[in-house]
A and B are shown apart, each in its own frame.
Chain A
Amino acid sequence: MTFLPKEMRFLLGVVLCLAAASAGAQLSIEITGAGAQRTPIAVVPFTGEQGVGTSLTAIVRADLERSGLFRGLEVPALSPHPNENSPVSYGEWRSRLADALVVGSVAMSADGRYEVRFRVYDIVKQAPLGAIAYLFTKDNARAAAHRIADFVYEKLTGEKGVFSTQIAYVVKRGTTYELQIADADGERSQYLLRANEPIISPVWSPEGRRIAYVSFESKKPVVYVHHLSENKRQVVASFKGSNSAPAWSPDGKTIAVVLSVEGGSQIYLINSDGSGPRRRISNSPSIDTEPRYSTDGKWLYFTSDRGGSPQIYRMSATGGEPQRVTFRGSYNVSPRPSPDGRVLAYVTRDGGKFQVALLDLSNQQVQVITDSDRDESPSFAPNGRMILLATVRGGRGVLSAVSSDGRIRQNLPYSGGDVREPAWGPFNE
């Protein structure tokens, strides 16, 4: 057995095995803006990666560039071609204007899987930052590349990468609706549900194995929970009237939903396995909808028109007197607390334009971070760095991602129809 770095981990079957086939059309990412300072990084093609049939390093480079924080350098032909065991000439890489370097190799292991080993260097500080090895099957080459990108990202930025996470979204083609999931880069899409009636409001459970959503297949909104690994689903809220706006509690045991069973639109709690009675926690003659738990589970943010116009409020997650959260403007909806709990993203209307705003919960500062006309359904990446949202371009629904500071915006064009209702999944594992 060869020596492997201390941090070695195995990557086995990280992809959920779903029966649903890929719909064919993929999201593809184009970056239209970029951060002022992007760290130049050289990701040297790994020796032996041609044998995998997928260029791991091309995916790693694309991932890192998509974060808006890195710029991949063109790497010239090198002789000898360096790998994770080669001595590093910091001066040479500095002269190529690289601030960071990734080198590695891929080899077939005894059981037919591939083993990738690589190292990350800080060229400016002239220091190795870490090394790791992953085992993967040919089918999981993209997942392996995303893991590599996550490792590199974390070593260089100090925070977790989201390249291995997944996104969910709804595609409308004619009168057909599909709830799809894909890698965070839009690749490897597959559908969970195909219906002839609308699907809205998908939300990932905290552990990432379930998605709750609203389907209109029975001619009214009904809330389902879909179990990804078994590819089966169950009805969790189908009371008389409308059932919508599901939101998971951080422990995954409770789902806040909006029901009209007692008239109006009010917030209730139900068990996520559909058992037990519903518990009403909002009590107003107005609309109370779009509940979202704070990350610590203590608060429920929601949209209400109790003050005359739709504004965001919050109340204790067990119910109680709501406090108003948004004050500027006459239409503030779709609250989404950031993963660290410091910021609230929401949609604000200004002069007929719907845009994503961020409210700093510590000092009440508001920053509008998008500039389109019809931005909706914001969804934080699990590391809080990016926000995925739905917008309209050229009369068509598309997904877009914006950095939390508003400086980087990426569009995710999709050739296969109108795309909407994005939901960024949690960190996996």
Chain B
Amino acid sequence: MRRRIYNTETRVLDNIAINEDYFKLKVRVEKKVFEKAQPGQFAQIQCSQEIEVRKNRKFEDHSELANYIRLNIDKLNESQLILRRPICIHNAYKEKDGRKVTHIFEFLIRKKRKGTELLSKLKHGDNLNILAPLGNPFGYKKSVDEGREVLIVAGGMGIAPIVFLCNKLIENGVRPTIFFGFEEDFSINYHSTMRKDLRALSKKVHIASNTLVEDVFVNGFVTDILVDHLKKLSRKKLDAIDIFSCGPTPMLKVVAAIAEQYDVNCEMSLEERMACGFGACMGCVCKTKNNDDEKYKRVCVEGPVFNSKEIIFATQS
């Protein structure tokens, strides 16, 4: 059964600049969208000059807003960004104020070019259209049901979907061990926004970085500390491990090789340029294998989370 997708209007509650490059966007979503979202899934965020059209207008409810959008969508500037930006759900949680419950998605975003630049300028009260939730989530439910040991391996911005994943694991009584690698430019991000959270959400956070952090850290790659951990474990313990990983492709490639070497179950979230985000255009594929059968699968539907055994990483750099 394919999951249902919502084309939904969200309201910006907060947009926090972490530093010049990173920001955290907090939006209110409808309950039904919130309840469908699973860790590893993403949203296709509309980011065009339409954002300007919607700025700072107050709407009573979603239908009033939807109506307004329908009436004004044709005022779009002719030169604009057409494609949405696929951004993973960084966190999803409820805020309670008396009897009022607000359903929240958080997106951790790096400013790259015009689209993410526009998103970084959104302010409290602005409206934002998203398609969500999209994609195949991490298979964490199996880890919970079978009482398996969870290892998280993340690199840099690859931490983005992990916070939501850890929250869901904790909710279900599983405390993961986190291996997190990042370079110097990311360290402020780690210190200011997630150090405390990650510690609270895990058994232990192992850091690999080329920059000094307060935690005990290894000056090297996250994959090195993962190997150090795995090589101490018995076959029986390795068989009971699920690795969930997200990060830059070179890192994922090494993680996949390690998982194969130690014969450990491993799922990883991939990134690819997307157009539609829900399977229609075939734009965002990765090469996969099933025995000898090689084929492209859509990162937006069959992914972004794949079993590492399936993925054929490109040899070309």
Chains A and B come from one and the same complex: no
Residues of B within 8 A of A (CB): none
